[in-house]
């Protein structure tokens, strides 16, 4: 069993437990549930930088990245830097995140928020909406085509955008459907954790122009973004590059100002 299989196994158990204690009606009564969402795909189309900055405390491959910032400090720094949107890790066991992080981010900024999570159930999409997210992530590697279809349709009904993450052509081919807004190519092999921008370059021409193209992971330099823009990428998800510094917001300002 690889790390991704372990995460999904744990996530399915976690969702079952949460469903048993927090009813859907409680999520639907959240002050954020009727909130009009902000479109990340529109912001990326209009942006010169395309940066989606990430709040991430740790990861299975890097252990602790940074535990010194408050969520408010990080996300306000990202908003001030001019990020198009913010990705908030909400997985607890493997990434040290929580839905509280998403809630605090929503209370602090007024730009699109992505709930970055291993989504396997509609319940998690309701959680995302209730905690102030504007979009969700679906990972093609852990979902069937039918699951991607039903989950993306459900998100769309709630007014949430969908970023679908793929790692190879097989995942891309099974996943393309009109209920997606953005397709992200993860440059990190989730089984080996090897990172290469070649993943994004190789898949770029296979992604229809109907979808906003996003490159994820391993983007740590201005040169990487300049390298990928000619391939049609409008969004660039950057996490550890900012979070590993002493001031994530300032690191984002310095980076984005060079674009």
Q: Which residues are catalytic?
A: 54, 56, 116, 165, 186, 216-217
Cβ contact 248:77 at 8 Å: yes
Is the C-alpha dihedral spanning 25, 30, 31, 37 positive or negative? negative
């Amino acid at each position: 069993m690889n790390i991704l299989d372990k995460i999904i196994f744990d996530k399915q158990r976690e969702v079952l437990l949460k469903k048993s204690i927090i009813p859907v009606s409680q999520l639907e009564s959240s002050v954020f549930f009727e909130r009009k969402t902000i479109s990340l795909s529109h912001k990326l189309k209009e942006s010169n930088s395309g940066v989606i900055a990430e709040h991430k405390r740790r990861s299975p491959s890097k252990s602790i990245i940074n535990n010194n910032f408050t969520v408010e400090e990080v996300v306000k720094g990202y908003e001030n830097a001019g990020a198009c949107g913010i990705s908030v890790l909400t997985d607890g066991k493997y990434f040290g995140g929580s839905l509280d992080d998403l809630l605090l981010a929503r209370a602090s900024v007024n730009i699109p928020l992505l709930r970055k999570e291993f989504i396997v159930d509609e319940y998690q999409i309701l959680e995302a909406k209730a905690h102030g997210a504007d979009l969700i992530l679906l990972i093609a590697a852990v979902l069937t085509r039918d699951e991607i279809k039903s989950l993306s349709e459900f998100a769309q009904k709630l007014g949430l955008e969908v970023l679908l993450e793929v790692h190879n052509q097989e995942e891309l081919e099974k996943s393309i459907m009109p209920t997606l807004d953005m397709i992200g190519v993860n440059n990190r092999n989730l089984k080996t954790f090897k990172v290469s921008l070649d993943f994004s370059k190789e898949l770029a021409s296979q992604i229809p122009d109907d979808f906003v193209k996003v490159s994820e992971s391993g983007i740590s330099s201005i040169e990487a973004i300049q390298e990928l823009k000619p391939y049609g990428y409008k969004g660039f998800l950057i996490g550890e590059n900012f979070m590993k510094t002493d001031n994530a917001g300032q690191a984002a300002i310095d980076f984005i100002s060079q674009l």
